[in-house]
Amino acid sequence: MKFAENNRISHRQLYRQMILTFLAPFLVCLPGKNGIQGMNGFWGIVLAVSVLILYVFILLRVTSGYSDMVRFLGSFWGRIAGVFFLVYIIFTAVYILKILEQIIPRWLLMGIPSGWISFLVIVVCSIGTEKGIQRRGRMAEISGGLLLAGVLLMMVLCLGQIRVDYLQEMAEAERISGAAVVQDGYLFLCGFSGVGLLPFIMREVVRPGSVGKTIIGAILTVGGILAGVLVLLPAVFGWNRLLTEEYPILPLLAGAALPGNILARFDVLWMGFLLYGLLFALGSLFYYGHQVVEKCHLRTVKYWMAALVFGLSLLEVSGIAVRTFYRNYLETIFVPGLLFIQVLLLFCGRKRKTRKTTIVALAVFVLALNGCAGIEPEKRMYPLALGAEWSEDGWTLIYGMPELPSAEGQEKEESQNSVLSIKGNDFDEIEKIYNRSQEKYLDMGHLQVLILKNQLVQSEHWKELLAYLEKEPLIGENVYVFRSEYPEQIMKWNKNGSSTGEYLLGILENRIPEQEKNGVTLRQVYQQHYENNTLLDIPEIILQDEEIQVCLE
């Protein structure tokens, strides 16, 4: 039986494994603050990909050495090399875990303790990693194409948010220098250091002689997508904002809309794709960990690697954790070390002999569900409009809530929109007051319009408001921003049962293309803020003869 007898994976399975393993961590970790950016990054990737293509040929030559390092390098050095690989794998796993700990509570599951995230992720990712490469190959073949298609589709959907003037701004602001290109290229190379683990499975790939083309194909694909993202990001966010975002890939789709308004937002799905990729990358690290243990004759006990990664992820001394120094270690120790071992293997040829070691480990998936409970939809308050006022006495936030019957269209009688005003010295205090006085959870995920008081626009305090809004991941960046002299009256205004948010949205969107006027979105406001530290010219709403009018001109 062709399938059962050979424990090998196809080139396509290897290609998809590489895509699944590298794409999501690269998209999340590399672009952004302190990462690869702009045209320097673009050319850095081009340079790094050229180097990687040459490196692949060297890698193929050292494959035989990886099959049994102890035989190849000797008992002592073989085990030392194995330990080095393991340290690299464990630290990388902890790094990915820490990223997940950062992303999930902020973007997906508020309030969940990071320890639980790590525990769940570790349990799920370590299951089955001790088994043959075929299982991972099949997983990659099933889901690799879907992930790639999903990422590309999301990027296509994102194209509608691109603004050419932002690209021009990037071209003007960024200085392309050789040093920056090399630096970004080296960072990309460091990201791809995981390729150095591939020889552990190279003998389990069909036609290993021609596997180089597949690896190069995967490198080109990942590099190409990342290069595309480097162009896309400044075109969507603007150059200056990009310099301050740690993970700019995550809010990339916060302002995008699906054709037909099937879903209001789909950035959660985008996160789902990225999350799956990160889980696969972590699973791959565990798998290679088992390979290293086997091929370097390191005796271990069951689950030690998963337990160690979990333990290290919890470890934080004086604010210093693995994540703090991982990148530095990667650039200065791991990548040179891996290269050194590979050069050693290239020159120290000994007779190869494989030894089968049985590693049996079964992970028990225990789902601990305490600590993370969702809030029912009827126990949430959905402000569709938010008014903000500032005076010497402090801040006032006005939440405009729709009346449920009118919003769902079940009852048509006239009803007043409910408005909640809360005053406080700062936003933290307002949140505290809200939490003390209101029974329902404040869900800002459906905010449609933001109305600033003219006085606030004229002062410098709008920056504080923007900083507060930016920290709130539920607020989409496609929220329309207006200014007015009387935000509270406007929000209380009601006609035919429609809420202020919906009414204002209708004024902007329910027009034929010739009549359509572009409002100002929150994303544009952010962009102007990051670029010039000024506030964009915002359309004003006036109340005349009990009618709302939006002055877009």
Partner 1 sequence: MEQKIKIYSELRKNESYIRNKFKNCADILIRPMRLGNESKVDCLIVYIEVAVSNMMLDDSALGKMINHFWESSSYQIQEFVKNNSLGIADVRKLESMKDVLSAVLAGNAVFFIDGYDKAMKISSKGYPNLGVSEVESEKVLRGSKEGFSDSVKTNSALVRKRIRDSRMKVEEKTTGVRSKTMLQILYMEDLVQEELLENIKNSLDEYRIDGIFDSGMLEQLTDKTWYSPFPQYQTTERPDRAAMEILNGKIVLLCDNSPTALILPSSFNGFMESSEDWFHHFEMTSFLRILRYLALLVATLLPGLYLAVIRFHTQILPANLILSFAKAREGVPFSSVTELIFLELSFELIREAGVRVPGALGNAIGIVGGLIIGQAAVSANLVSPIVVMIVALTALGSMVIPEEEFASAFRLLKYIFLFLGGYLGIFGIVLGIYLTISHLCGLLSFGMPYMLPFIKKVPRCDTGEGILRIPFQKRWQRPLYARWEQKIRLRKTSVEEDESRDLKEGQKQEEKNS
Residues numbered 285 to 344 that lie near partner 1 (CB under 8 A) are: none
Position among 175, 373, 510, 553 found at the interface with partner 1 (CB under 8 A): 373
Position among 18, 139, 306, 490 found at the interface with partner 1 (CB under 8 A): 139
Residues numbered 204 to 233 that lie near partner 1 (CB under 8 A) are: 206
Q: Does 109 interact with partner 1 (rule: CB under 8 A)?
A: yes
Position among 264, 343, 467, 551 found at the interface with partner 1 (CB under 8 A): 264
Q: What is the rounded distance in angstroms from the CA atom of residue 71 to the CA atom of residue 464?
A: 63
Position among 204, 331, 443, 488 found at the interface with partner 1 (CB under 8 A): 443
Nearer to partner 1, 164 or 367 (CB): 367
Residue with tokens 């590979």: 342
Residues numbered 5 to 34 that lie near partner 1 (CB under 8 A) are: 5, 8, 10, 13
AA letter at 187: L
Nearer to partner 1, 109 or 220 (CB): 109
Residues numbered 399 to 428 that lie near partner 1 (CB under 8 A) are: 402, 404-405, 407-410
As measured in angstroms, the least distance from the Cβ of 143 to partner 1 is 6
The interface region with partner 1, picked from 38-46, 116-124, 313-321, 510-518 by CB under 8 A, is 116-124
SS3 of residue 548 by DSSP: strand
Concatenated DSSP letters of 282-343: HHHHHHHHHHHHHHTT----TTHHHHHHHHHHH--BTTB-HHHHHHHHIIIIIHHHHHHHHH
Position among 157, 279, 344, 348 found at the interface with partner 1 (CB under 8 A): 279
As measured in angstroms, the least distance from the Cβ of 384 to partner 1 is 6
SS3 of residue 196 by DSSP: helix
SS3 of residue 480 by DSSP: strand
Nearer to partner 1, 325 or 441 (CB): 441
From the list 493, 520, 266, the residue with the least C-alpha distance to 402 is 493
Q: How many CB atoms lie within 10 A of CB 65?
A: 25
What is the total count of residues that contact partner 1 (CB under 8 A)?
73
| Residue-level length of the chain | 553
What's the distance, CA 327 to chain centroid? 18
Position among 283, 289, 487, 519 found at the interface with partner 1 (CB under 8 A): 283
Nearer to partner 1, 220 or 404 (CB): 404
Nearer to partner 1, 4 or 54 (CB): 4
Residues numbered 470 to 499 that lie near partner 1 (CB under 8 A) are: 474, 476
Which three-class secondary structure string do you get for 150-171? HHHHHHHHHHHHCCHHHHHHHH
| Alpha-carbon distances, residue 522 vs 15, 150, 396, 481, 511 (angstroms) | 40, 26, 19, 6, 21
Q: Does 124 interact with partner 1 (rule: CB under 8 A)?
A: yes
Q: How many CB atoms lie within 10 A of CB 243?
A: 18
Q: Read off the tokens for 533.
A: 């530290």
Q: Does 271 interact with partner 1 (rule: CB under 8 A)?
A: yes
From the list 474, 470, 486, the residue with the least C-alpha distance to 525 is 470
As measured in angstroms, the least distance from the Cβ of 8 to partner 1 is 8
Q: Read off the tokens for 85.
A: 């690989």
Nearer to partner 1, 266 or 326 (CB): 266
Residues numbered 167 to 206 that lie near partner 1 (CB under 8 A) are: 206
